[in-house]
Amino acid sequence: MHTLCDVAIVGAGPAGLLAAINLSQAGHKVFLFEKDGFPREKICGDGLTADAIKCIKDLKIFNEINKKGKSIKSVSVFSPSRTEAKFSGNFLTIKRMWLDYFLLEEAKENGTFFIKGDVESIKHLSDGVEIKLSSYPVSFKAKVCILATGAKTELARKFGFFLDIKPSALAIRTYVKSSIFLNRLVISYDESILPGYGWIFPLPDGLFNVGCGVFCGNNREKVNLREKFELFVKNFPLAAALFESKLHEPEKLRGGRILSNLSQYTTCVIGRVLLAGETMGTTLPFMGEGVGKAMESGIAVAEATNLFLKSRKIWDLQSYQKFITQELSPKYTGYRIIEKIVSHRRSTNLLALYAKRNKKMNGAITEILAGEADPRKVFSTWGIIKTLI
C-alpha cells in the first residue's frame, strides 16, 4: 500500500520550497520530504541577489522575510591589489535557517504536507514514482518526483542521473558580532586566498557572515579551508578589523561543497523524476551564490510539472529540460569565464580597475549580479568593445 500524492519533492531548500509553493498554489497535493526539522542551520553566505528577491517578492511571507533580514543597496568588490569596484543593486541578507523556515511556512499554508524523514530510495512505477523512507512504516507514490537535495547528489545518482560529483569549490563561514557599521556587501579576491574569494555580509543587529570559498580546479584534495580563512581574516583589512572589534567569540567554522557544474549536457529529467537547484550544479561558480538560480529552477520545474499534471502528456516534463538546456545552462559558460578571470591576480586587478573607471563595464557587471545580463555576451570580444565605444 502507498500513501498517494501528486508531487513528491525531496529536499526543502530554496529550489524544493519554491517548487512546493507554486505546485500547492496550483491545487496539487504536494508532499515535501526533508531529513532535518525546521528551523535548521545551513552553510550559506546568507545573501540574496536581485534574482532571488524577484522570485519571492510576491509571496505572502515576503514581508516577514524582509523584516527578519537586512536590505542592502550596494556591493564592494576588492581585487588582490585592493582596488575597490562598487556596484549598486538590490540585495537582502537573512540567515538561511530563517529564509527556509519562512518559505516552508508559506508552502504549508498553501497546502503542502511536510514530512520529516530521510528518503532512501525512489523507483519508477508504471504510473508514477515510489518513494521510500528509512525507518518509516509506509511508502509513498507520486505522479511526479522532484529531487532538490542540494550538494548531496547520492539519491539522484542512485536513481540513474549522471552528475559530476566533484565540487567546483569549497567554502567555509562563521558568524561574528562587531561594533563596526557596514551597510554594503563585501567580496574580496584577496591575494592570500587566490584562486578564491572571501566575503563579509552584514546581517541585522551587528552580526556578520564572514567566510571564504576556494575554487577547486584540479587540486580538489589539497585545499586547507581553515588555513585560507585564517589568512583572509589576517590579511584583508576589513575582516581583520571585524575580528579585532568582536563583541563575542565567533561561532564555530562550518564548511561545505559547492556544485557549479551545470552545462548544456546536464540531464535533469528521467521519466517522471526531475532535478532542481544545486543538485544539478546551479550555484554561480565565480562567487558561490546559489539561492537565486536554485529558486529559478524551482519555479521552472513547478511550471513543467503543473503542465504535465494537467495534460497527462509525459513529454510536457521535457519542457523543463528544454529550459535548462537552452536558457539557463548556456549562461554558465559565461559564469565560468568570470571564474577564470578572477582566479588570477593580474586579470582580477585589471577587471576591477576597468569596472571602477568605466561606467559601461560597471553597469554590465551590475546587470550580471542582478541576473539580468548574459555574461557570455558581456565578456565576448564584441561585448568588451561595446564598453569602449
CATH number at residue 138: 3.50.50.60
Query: Can you point out the beta strands (E) in 119-168?
Result: 119-125, 128-133, 139-147
As a whole number, the mean pLDDT across the chain is 94
What is the C-alpha separation between 151 and 183, in angstroms, rounded? 30
pLDDT band, residue 69 (cuts 50/70/90): very high
Domain-embedded: residue 246: no
Residue pointed to by grid coordinates 563575542: 248
Q: What is the pLDDT of residue 258?
A: 94
**289 lies in a domain?**
yes
Answer whether residue 228 is part of any domain.
Answer: no
Tell me the C-alpha distance between 214 and 327, whole Å.
27
Model pLDDT for residues 242-300, shown as the tens digit of each residue: 999 998 888 899 999 999 999 888 999 999 999 999 999 999 999 999 999 999 999 99
The answer to whether position 379 is within a domain reads no
- Asked whether residue 180 is assigned to any structural domain, the reply reads no
380 against 30, higher pLDDT: 30
Domain-located, residue 288: yes
What is the Cα–Cα distance from 115 to 33, expressed in whole angstroms?
A: 5
Q: What is the pLDDT of residues 172-225, one digit of tens each?
A: 999 999 999 999 999 999 999 999 999 999 999 999 999 999 998 755 557 789
Helix, strand or coil for residue 352? Answer: helix
CA distance 358 to 342: 18
Average pLDDT (130-141) is 91
Q: Are 142 and 28 in contact (CB under 8 A)?
A: no
Count up the domains in the chain and report the number.
1
C-alpha cell at 52: 532571488
**pLDDT at residue number 237:** 96
The answer to whether residue 370 is domain-embedded is: no
User: Is 45 among the domain residues?
Assistant: yes
Alpha helices in the chain (DSSP H): 14-25, 50-56, 62-68, 96-109, 154-159, 225-235, 237-244, 291-311, 318-323, 330-342, 345-357, 359-369, 375-378, 381-388
Q: Report pLDDT for 219.
A: 55
Domain that holds residue 137: 2-72+92-166+260-332
- pLDDT of residue 322 exceeding 90, the answer is yes
pLDDT, one tens digit per residue, over 16-58 is 999 999 999 999 999 999 998 888 888 899 999 999 999 999 9
Residues 145-179 pLDDT 10s: 999 999 999 999 999 998 887 889 999 999 999 99
Residue 17 vs residues 20, 22, 99, 155: alpha-carbon distances, Å:
5, 9, 10, 18
1 has a pLDDT exceeding 70: no
pLDDT of residue 76: 98
Q: Show Cβ contacts of residue 99 under 8 Å, excluding neighbours closer than 6 positions.
A: 14, 48, 65, 69, 291
Nearest to 68 by CA among 104, 92, 91: 92
Whole-number percent of the chain with pLDDT over 90: 86
